Structure 1
Amino acid sequence: MTRAGDAAPLMTTAAAAAASGYSAQQVRDLEALGVIPAAVRASNGYRRFRADHVHALRAYRDLARAVGPVDARRVMRAARLLPRADAAALICGLHIRLDGEREQAHAARRALESIRAEAATDAQPVDGDSMTITELSQALGIRASTLRYWETVGLVAPERITTRAGTARRYCLTAIREARITAALRAGGYRIPDVRTTITAVRDLGEVSHSIDALDNRLEVIARRTLALLRAGTLLAEIIDSPRPSSAHRD
C-alpha cells in the first residue's frame, strides 16, 4: 500500500531540518532513535526525506514538550507500529496522566488554601493542641513510618515527651501544619528537596503563599503541556491512521 507522502518530492536532510525547525544533526539523530521512519537512501547513499518525515518531526516537538523526550520517543515509535486501537489508547493515556497531575496540583492547592485560612484564625497553642504520631498519620491518611521519615529529612519537627514507656513524639500545631503542607505538596507531585525548600520558607515567613504560588506555576506549566499535547495529537492522529506495518499485529 502506498504510504502518505511517497509520491511527494524527496528532501535533503538540510531541507527536512529547515521545514521541521531542527538542525540537520538532530534530524539524523531522531531517525536513528526511531522517532521518524528510516529515510530513503539515494543512489549516492545520502538520506532523502518525505513530507511525512517532517510531519513526524513536528509531532515529536510538541509531544516532547508535553511528556518529555523519553516518553515522546517511545510514543512516536508506538504510533507507527502498534495496531490503531492500541496506539490511540496510548495517546488517551497521556491525556489521562496529565489530567491526574492537574488534579493532584489542584488538590494540593485546596489543602494549602485551607491551611492558610486556618492560620489566619489560629490562636496561640494551648494545652491539648497536639496529636500523637498515630492520630496525625490517621488524620493525613499516611503511614506513621512516613511521618518518621519526614522528620529525619527535616520536614516535620515533633516534640519528644517522656512517658512511662520511654519517649514519644507529640505534634504541636506548628508540626501538624508542617505535616499537612508536606502531605499536600507530596500529593501535588513535589519531590522531597522541593518540599524542604517550601517548609523552610514557611518557617521563615510564617505563611503558605509561597507554596500556593509554586502550585499556581505548576498548574500553568501543566496547561502549556496540555496544549502541546493537543497540538501533537492532531499530527499523531494522522500517523496512527496511516497504514500499519505488516508486523503491527505482533507484540
Structure 2
Amino acid sequence: MGQNLKTPRQLRPVDLARGHGLSTQAVRNYEEAGILPAATRSPHGYRAYTPLHADALRAFLALVPGHGHRTAAAIMRAVNRGAAEDAFRLVDESHAQLLEDRRTLGAVESALRDLEPVPLPESGGTFIGPLAAKLGIRPATLRKWEDAGLVRPHRDPRTGYRVYDGAAVRDARLTGQLRRGGYLLEQIAPLIGRVRAAGGVEPLEAALHDWHGRLSARGRALLAGAAALDAYLRARG
C-alpha cells in the first residue's frame, strides 16, 4: 500500500482576502511586492495559495499598525527571501524609534514642568541682552535659535532692536530646557511648533495626554505584530 502524503490545502485569492476586508487584487499585489511568498500556478495560470500564505498575510497586516506599511513590507520581504536577520534589524529599529519618541515626550514634559515665567518689563517685552542673561546663555545663542525658527522676537519700529514678548520668552525658555536635555535644534523645532499650535503651554496638556496614548497604542501594536510574525516564522519552519 502506498504512503498517503498530505499536500497543502489550496486557497484562492478570495479565500485570503475574505475576513480582512481586502480585494483579491490587493492580495495579488502583495504577492507581487514580495510581501507574500510566490504562489504556485495552475496549468491555466490561476494562483494557488496555501495556509502559509494566509499566515504571511496575517503577519503583514499585524505588522502595519506598529511599523507602518513600508517597514512592514520590508520585514516580510526579508523573511520571504530567507534573510531573517534583516527582518529582525528592521523590527529592532522600530522599537528603538518608539523608545526615542518616549524619551522625547519625557523631555518635553520635564521641560514644561520646570518652565517658569520670566518677569517682563512693564512695556511687555524684553531685549536680547537681559533675556540672555536671565537664561544663562549668550546673545549669540538667542540669535542662533531665532535663525532656526525656535524663537520669534519682533523688531522695535523706532530702534530696530529685537523685542521678546511673552510667547518669545516662553519659546526661548523651553528651547533652553530641551537643549540642556541634549536635544538638537532640529529635534526641538517640531516641539516648539506643538506649543505654538496649542496656543501655549497649558493647552498642550491635552496634546501630551494624546501623545502618551498614541505611544502606548504603538507599543501594543508592535507586540501584536511580533506575535504574528513569530507565528509565520514557525509556519515557514
Report the equivalent of 2:95.
95
More strand by share: 1
| 1-structure distance, mates of 2:143, 2:51 | 58
**Is the CA contact 2:13–2:27 (under 8 Å) kept in the aligned structure 1?**
yes
One-letter amino acid of the counterpart of residue 70, structure 1: R
**Aligned mates of 2:145, 2:42 — CA distance in 1:** 61
Structure 1 residues not aligned, in runs of 5+: 1-5, 245-251
Q: State how far apart, in whole Å, the 2-side matches of 1:62 and 1:187 are.
A: 35
Q: CA deviation at 1:93?
A: 2.0
Secondary structure of the residue aligned to 2:162 is: strand
Divergent runs of 4+, >3 A? 82-86, 122-139, 142-146, 159-162, 166-174, 179-192, 194-198, 238-244
2 CA distance for matches of 1:200 and 1:236? 39
Report deviation, 1:196.
Answer: 4.5
Structure 2: any 5+ residue segments left out of the alignment?
1-5
Quick one: distance in 1 between partners of 2:161 and 2:82? 56
For residues 190 and 41 of structure 1, the distance between their equivalents in structure 2, rounded to whole angstroms, comes to 54
Q: Which amino acid aligns with 1:76?
A: M
SS in 1 for 2:38: coil
* Aligned mates of 2:94, 2:213 — CA distance in 1: 18
Distance in 1 (CA, whole Å) between partners of 2:197 and 2:231 is 49
Alignment of 1:156-171 (within 5 A): 156-160=151-155, 169=162, 171=164
Native 8 Å contact 2:14 2:24 kept in 1: yes
1:3 matched residue in structure 2:
none
Determine the structure 1 residue equivalent to 2:3: none
Mapped to 2, the partners of 1:130 and 1:172 lie a distance apart of 9
Determine if contact 2:52/2:236 at 8 Å carries over to the other structure. Answer: no
SS in 1 for 2:148: helix
- Relative contact order (C-alpha < 8 Å, sep 6+): which is higher? 1
> In the aligned structure 1, how far is the partner of 2:16 from the partner of 2:166?
62
- Listed as ranges, the matches of 1:162-241 within 5 Å are 169=162, 171=164, 173-181=166-174, 196=193, 198-199=195-196, 201-202=198-199, 207-240=200-233
Asked if 2 retains the 8 angstrom alpha-carbon contact of 1:112 and 1:212, the reply is no
RMSD (CA atoms): 3.9
Seq. identity, % = 27
- The answer as to 2:57 corresponding to 1:57 is yes
Which residue identity is paired with 2:162?
Answer: R
Q: TM-score, normalised by structure 2?
A: 0.73
1:25–1:147 distance in 2 versus 1, CA, 3 Å: same
SS in 2 for 1:209: coil
**Residue aligning to 1:247:** none
Question: Deviation of residue 69 (structure 1)?
Answer: 1.0
Using the alignment, how far apart are the partners of 2:145 and 2:26 within structure 1?
A: 44
- CA shift at 1:85, angstroms? 3.4
Contact 2:142–2:172 under 8 Å retained in 1: no
Q: 1:35 touches 1:73 (CA, 8 Å); kept in 2?
A: yes
Match of 1:248 in 2: none
**Matched-pair contact (CA < 8 Å) for 1:98–1:226:** yes
Pick closer, same or farther for the CA change 1:50–1:23 going to 2, 3 Å: same
Classify the secondary structure of the residue corresponding to 2:18: helix
Contact 1:65 1:228 in 2 (8 A): yes
